[in-house]
Amino acid sequence: MTIFCGNLDFKVTDEDLRKAFEPYGQVDEAKVIYHYQTTKSRGFGFVKMSRPAALKAIEALNGTMLGERVLRLEEARPLVKNDRPPRPKTPEESTWR
């Protein structure tokens, strides 16, 4: 299961995330997301663990401090890019007037 870790302190590293979650089970992957140009943390990341361990970790760590910020944890949802209808190609196809 993948856990979304929001509101991360900008100084938190992959290793810090791993250490925070290891007491609840084996961490398969811990990754902080960085901006591709500035290489600064974007303030969120992901942790992959077995489902039972992940549920324990979410219950125990959600709302606690990591660094200088309060963690917001939840099960990661899949990215859905095409959840809107396609744009009209011509003005005649548009429903907006």
Summarised one tens digit per residue, pLDDT across range 70-81 is 999 999 988 776
**Which stretch of DSSP H or E encloses residue 47?**
strand 41-49
**Is-contact 6 15, C-beta < 8 A?**
no
Identity of the amino acid at 74: E
* DSSP secondary structure of 63-83: T-EETTEE-EEEEPPPP-S--
Q: In the chain, where are the structural domains located?
A: 2-75
In this prediction, residue 18 carries a pLDDT of 97
> What is the CATH architecture assignment of 2-75?
2-Layer Sandwich (3.30)
In this prediction, residue 78 carries a pLDDT of 84
Q: How far apart are CA 51 and CA 1, in angstroms?
A: 5
**Is-contact 61 1, C-beta < 8 A?**
no
